[in-house]
Structure 1
């Protein structure tokens, strides 16, 4: 609500449209309820706890058990939700939580650029940054620039269920604008008996990758234990998982954003491929995960539980490849301009040809990281009469230490006998299909030596034979939550809940970077590449020298620490204090002859944020060391308030039909690195005239805010299946975009700071500042359809068969300036919201009977704008081609005899070998392609 002051000096309040809508809901429900006093209330059936099942009960397990559990969650929730439940204790239907979630209506994933596995989760066409992610209802720390943790931190075997709120509930803290994803571990007192589960899996990765590259392998072990003691007043659950993977070799190719410059040839300008980076990459992933829950429930009026979660792992990526500029990128003596020879010109394009003075750069890079996430929560609930009180304390901490070694080999900077490069098959846009051939053999250690090949850091004055970066991220969240709930009888209101949550979050990114210099002091110095290994460079078929640079600091290289505005701009710290008070009413009544249930409420949120960072004084910055480019720590604070009303109603249309309506105001906070106070300013001479340009964060940034309306029709077939049709509309009040704007730097520079000397901005402090800012206006809308049915509903002859199919179509009227793209600079043009796929379709068919389970699944999404990390650890935008991923799964569980409880299974992931592909403007001109091949897995498990 917006506060106003009237002429008499009294305080009045103006209802926002969403708040008014919620008020109308409550008023209408109350009027209807009082008008129908003759309709008696039907008492709810008492819940009877028992550890013994009646012998006539048919126990459903496996795929159908998971489906029925998820349907029950969806059907009985007062909000519009999607759910997925473990098929059985110790496993989910897929190898990762992200893959399982991606099969739900309106949900999809972006695959990792490095591994090809499902990573970030998008809901209703919005990027993962628009989601709130919770663990057992609590916010978690993260090791990325985003607020939510990466999903690969959560082994699927440790999850009991996943609940996705598509409409907000006033009692849920940490909600997102797109959705709120609540990951839930198993609660031991929810089980009727002791359960012990053990499983082991062996995998082959990168099978049938293009180029006949080596395959990888992996192994995975899990153990889960759930038990109850002291007459079911104490429950204990814990789980352990460990996996180790060395991925198969991946052939990658990057055309530098589809760069096709022109060079003169026989009196005309002809287009040619401007350059490429082709790598063969091998990745490793190791992780240990654990959870533990202790529950104490001595009676119906008191319960207390402690949840612990731990995940620690290390990831590594070894890249070996070749890169080089072909046209338009001469760098003085280090990389002199070449001359075209023997060119075949077709429609102004150099379809084939040769370029002289080529300098190939052999890359041997290693990126590695170690991370860990610890979360602990203590929840206690006490009932006294009509009141239920709850206290929840939580703590979450995440750390990530990374290292990035980049080494270059080739001809030294003062070489005079340079190489040639030839190509065939270029049509102006098919960059990934071009065939290259070099004149020199870069697999020969007498040719390719460790050295500063291209003088990228300034040449003789600042040699750089490699680069080392050591970023460190640390994030801590502390929270306390107090709630009280009272049963009442006031019209349709059957209970009132009040709550308060206080969260403090501290996150920082620190580290150091530096140039690797060949020992000895000679800027043209070289060193032999250790070892004898060679590797094919990506998709080119060209062999290059290969080695592991770990441990080479001090033996081959010396480190020259590097400090400049761009580097310091990546180091920051952010602190948030968020106070949230809420009230929620649970509703149960009738309207126009229809019974309904639901909730209405509001959150009042006060946020105080402080962004820290570094500012560089250009007047004193004469080099790239701490001594020659001094900086000072800066910080800036801001605060703001939000009122977030919400209402959810579910109407019973009889015959297991439900109509759901949701209306709310929602928000998503900015990524934490966007709130940094770091900034940099320099004179940009790359344009038509010199001017001051700067970049940085914005501690004054406000969240994405939107008004949301949801409508869903659902028809259930008992607890076995359902069909649903849903529509949604989100009116964006504010959003965050990164774009340059006119800015006067007079307040952030000193009188002695260098200014442009020529052009229209000569002597001027005005220029362009690029930072995240709030924009206004726009909308997102779409629809979803879903069908989840066993075929026995149609005929008993198809008992055991079933299918899940859903489709979503999303449209956005929000367009953003095209800044922040990877490897390319655009003229002014509009782009869609990141993460938005217009069409997403999921299909899963299965057969399950007599212990056999067979399932095939496919998920398809259209092209979308993704977010990736570049070689400098910065977030960049890139278009990602639509894809269809097909997975297969088969298993058998012994039903009787000595082997009862033993199961064996096989999986095939990405059966169609769908590559990960990026493009810039034309989807037919692929600029980056990653071929990950198939993954085969065999495993066995035992449950007793």
Structure 2
């Protein structure tokens, strides 16, 4: 641990830029369980837990992961998701030697981001002396227990082997590592949604006056009654993660003038997740309101007062509908990257460098889900059952318990179908499930030619070169509907085949002792359900992007003295020529009557140049006191989905009146988008004590020159055929119509402060030798706002502005450690304050939620046998991740409210990831 800190501190101190760094304590042994978790502890960085509880993406200085650059061995790396943000859990931590985060622009750093750049580096074999071999073995368990038996072993395992050696008088070096992971994730998830006052649905519950929020999507005003949730869902799943990773570096340096390096990275990541979900409607009299003849009564209601509003938090309901969902998801990611670097001395002064690389990702995913619900054989309709429910607004455990035994588990009384249209698809009465199988390919090729020369005097080094990058990314969002077959009378066959019924789920943690479990792949493959391709209109969301980026760069390193103060740093410029092209689809046919002749290919693009200057200055005010200044212009390329060429097809109004001839709004991407661009200012003061201790204070500001938002623009619709219906007299279609798409804007600032310290106890008090702490904290503020735009007036909707997604105002990390006589222990906590995130609700409408503050505690303890022991080289490890079993939550405000109200936040999603225990052994020789 202390050696890792010492290496990281040295990297930070010696850099000409403002950087943070983390390094492996030893070969094949990064201190954290993953690269992402190590990065999340660095000052100014925050991690976001994914759906399996692990940190997989990183935000730098409050901006979303899409704004940061990601490099592997100094080169751009592909992404396995739909966008550009790299998922760092795809890199086995055992194979990474170090990671450096650049917070300021650098003219010689290619592929950098607007918020910062992460560079993951493999181990260099010629930097190591002698042969080193390391073996690591881990077993792990999760406190949530097994949620879906039979998917994965309750005990996960991981092992790795790393080998480093030199040959031919240290002119050839080889480092190679292999890591295998079989890890099991166990998830429990609840959701509350659509809180409102539902008095018009005959569910009056006494409340205070006034109740601020009316029921969503209705026209009547508040009725001064208590608030109920429209939907309650609870789900659980088991996910098996299997990953094989290989990284190799081959170096050849026959003399001091020539150096060649070949590096290879390969990762195959397969996951399989099986789960069950209960969805219920808290006001089943919705059925009576719409003439379905169902009456629900509530009793034994308890309420909770929050400000001016009353929430119904527990009670009994006589008749609630229920949809059971069974899902099966398989995902396969294959990523590989290869790079070649050659360096030659040219004469006595110049060094020439050629660097070529290629990386590629292929992702195939298949998500299958099937719906069913309790059925009343007497009425030949859905059965609405009695429930007891408890849904505290403070975020504590929730329950929805059926009061009829076997109500959700008896296959004789559960039939196919989507009860009351929870996942409604128009025109599909046989709808009972879906298959979504996206296919993603991402490929990056680079070629870099550069040269540098050293000087004596003010200029210490000059570097110049040219870099060409070509990126091709395609995202296909395929979908197939699952329908019930028809019997001889043309009626849907709702009975579930006996061969598809498995042992039920145990969901007692949320009040459901037994929940039906179905073999979803069996239902799909056996022919028990009918497969129907989804509407071609969905093809408008596919993305096919080609980018050709040519960058010329030049940078001067300087090293001088101002009076008695040593000054060093660099200044330079990048000229970036971008040629981007996008292809997509527009479907002009009827979605219920597929006609591929009406599926039209769309395309577009743009060519432009950005000039990106940068300056970094380091002043050694005292031998151990350093001041840093960074100024530069940085960019972040638009998101892949925002650049898509696909568009929906608008319809023209043929009804006589003032709106006749006008077009409905189309929804599209924008292939002509320019990047986000900002001028960045950074200032840092660092005080060092010895080799492992320092205190730093930093401030930064980013002024946006260009950003991306959503708005209305005009599009020429003159080539769209008019409806094949009789047109009224005087009908003339407008030439132009509105299109809602991403657009470039300008203005806005992001600023913040960071404080960090690494303190070695023995440096101050001898009795504290071996003790230490590493702490950091940041405070951020931004005038950049996400907002909603009225699709008719193109004006910002009043009250719809929220902080930019992913911005946590406060983040801090603290690690206490002890290391002496072979024993080491570490207790770490990372924290980020609440932040907003815009996602889609169950009706696929954009909705903004507030992510709750996230605080995660991890513990690690290890004992290494000393060199005089017969067990020399062996160490034993105990590690607990998420030690306090912290839930992850997001919140929203009831009713038709676009922006979360801090005084009226209620839990929306609550994730229970469980506590992960790892036992392991390391052996090196």
Q: Same fold (TM over 0.5)?
A: yes
Query: How far apart, CA to CA, are the structure 1 residues paired with 2:632 and 2:77?
Result: 24
Query: How far apart, CA to CA, are the structure 2 residues paired with 1:72 and 1:857?
Result: 22
- For the 8 Å contact 1:683–1:755, the answer to whether it is kept is no
- For the 8 Å contact 2:375–2:383, the answer to whether it is kept is no
- The residue correspondences of 1:133-144 to structure 2 (distance < 5 A) are 133-144=70-81
* SS of residue matched to 1:496: strand
Give the CA deviation at 1:98: 0.4
- The residue correspondences of 1:456-855 to structure 2 (distance < 5 A) are 456=423, 458=425, 461-489=428-456, 492-510=458-476, 512-520=478-486, 522=490, 524-528=492-496, 530-537=500-507, 540-542=510-512, 543-555=514-526, 556-565=528-537, 567-617=538-588, 621-624=589-592, 626-627=594-595, 630-682=598-650, 692-737=664-709, 739-741=710-712, 743=714, 746-747=717-718, 749-752=720-723, 769-818=739-788, 828-855=799-826
Give the CA deviation at 1:585: 0.3
Distance 1:306-1:747 versus aligned 2 partners, 3 A rule? farther
Query: How far apart, CA to CA, are the structure 1 residues paired with 2:590 and 2:484?
Result: 24
Give the CA deviation at 1:247: 2.0
CA-based RMSD of the aligned residues comes to: 3.3
Query: How far apart, CA to CA, are the structure 2 residues paired with 1:286 and 1:462?
Result: 39
- Give TM-score scaled by structure 2 length: 0.87
Question: Quick check: 1:925 aligned with 2:906?
Answer: yes
- CA displacement 1:141-198 (0-9 Å, x = unmatched): 1221222431111010000000000011101100001110000010100101111000
- For the 8 Å contact 1:703–1:735, the answer to whether it is kept is yes
Query: How far apart, CA to CA, are the structure 1 residues paired with 2:155 and 2:277?
Result: 22
- For the 8 Å contact 1:340–1:355, the answer to whether it is kept is yes
* SS of residue matched to 2:645: coil
Question: Quick check: 1:408 aligned with 2:408?
Answer: no
Give the CA deviation at 1:691: 7.2
Residue in structure 2 matched with residue 13 of structure 1 by the alignment: none
- For the 8 Å contact 1:216–1:245, the answer to whether it is kept is no
Residue in structure 1 matched with residue 210 of structure 2 by the alignment: none
- For the 8 Å contact 1:253–1:538, the answer to whether it is kept is no
Distance 1:753-1:728 versus aligned 2 partners, 3 A rule? farther
* SS of residue matched to 1:892: strand
- For the 8 Å contact 2:356–2:448, the answer to whether it is kept is yes
669-678 or 261-270, larger mean C-alpha shift: 261-270
Give the CA deviation at 1:634: 0.9
Residue in structure 2 matched with residue 43 of structure 1 by the alignment: none
Give the CA deviation at 1:365: 0.9
- For the 8 Å contact 2:778–2:812, the answer to whether it is kept is yes
Residue in structure 2 matched with residue 282 of structure 1 by the alignment: 238
Residue in structure 2 matched with residue 292 of structure 1 by the alignment: 248
- CA displacement 1:295-344 (0-9 Å, x = unmatched): 00011110001000000011222220211333389589999374342444
Distance 1:404-1:603 versus aligned 2 partners, 3 A rule? same
218-227 or 315-324, larger mean C-alpha shift: 315-324
Question: Quick check: 1:443 aligned with 2:424?
Answer: no
- For the 8 Å contact 1:569–1:680, the answer to whether it is kept is yes
Residue in structure 2 matched with residue 302 of structure 1 by the alignment: 258
Query: How far apart, CA to CA, are the structure 1 residues paired with 2:507 and 2:33?
Result: 30
Distance 1:678-1:364 versus aligned 2 partners, 3 A rule? same
* SS of residue matched to 1:692: coil
Residue in structure 2 matched with residue 44 of structure 1 by the alignment: none
Distance 1:87-1:622 versus aligned 2 partners, 3 A rule? same
457-466 or 183-192, larger mean C-alpha shift: 457-466
- For the 8 Å contact 1:452–1:523, the answer to whether it is kept is no
Query: How far apart, CA to CA, are the structure 1 residues paired with 2:396 and 2:719?
Result: 44
Give the CA deviation at 1:562: 1.4
* SS of residue matched to 1:569: helix
* SS of residue matched to 2:779: strand
Question: Quick check: 1:856 aligned with 2:827?
Answer: yes
- For the 8 Å contact 2:285–2:296, the answer to whether it is kept is no
Query: How far apart, CA to CA, are the structure 1 residues paired with 2:9 and 2:906?
Result: 43
- The residue correspondences of 1:903-942 to structure 2 (distance < 5 A) are 903-920=875-892, 921-922=900-901, 924-942=905-923
Question: Quick check: 1:111 aligned with 2:49?
Answer: yes
Query: How far apart, CA to CA, are the structure 1 residues paired with 2:246 and 2:843?
Result: 33
- CA displacement 1:273-300 (0-9 Å, x = unmatched): 2112211121111100001111000111
Question: Quick check: 1:80 aligned with 2:18?
Answer: yes
Residue in structure 1 matched with residue 354 of structure 2 by the alignment: 391
- For the 8 Å contact 2:837–2:851, the answer to whether it is kept is yes
Residue in structure 1 matched with residue 384 of structure 2 by the alignment: 419
- For the 8 Å contact 1:913–1:934, the answer to whether it is kept is yes
312-321 or 332-341, larger mean C-alpha shift: 332-341
- CA displacement 1:825-856 (0-9 Å, x = unmatched): 99851111111111011000111011111110
Give the CA deviation at 1:557: 1.4
Unaligned 5+ residue runs, structure 2?
206-222, 304-308, 654-658, 791-795, 893-899
- CA displacement 1:201-220 (0-9 Å, x = unmatched): 00012448999999943100
Residue in structure 2 matched with residue 865 of structure 1 by the alignment: 836
Query: How far apart, CA to CA, are the structure 2 residues paired with 1:91 and 1:360?
Result: 49
Distance 1:377-1:459 versus aligned 2 partners, 3 A rule? closer
Query: How far apart, CA to CA, are the structure 1 residues paired with 2:844 and 2:335?
Result: 21
Q: Which of 68, 93, 111 is the matching residue for 2:31? A: 93
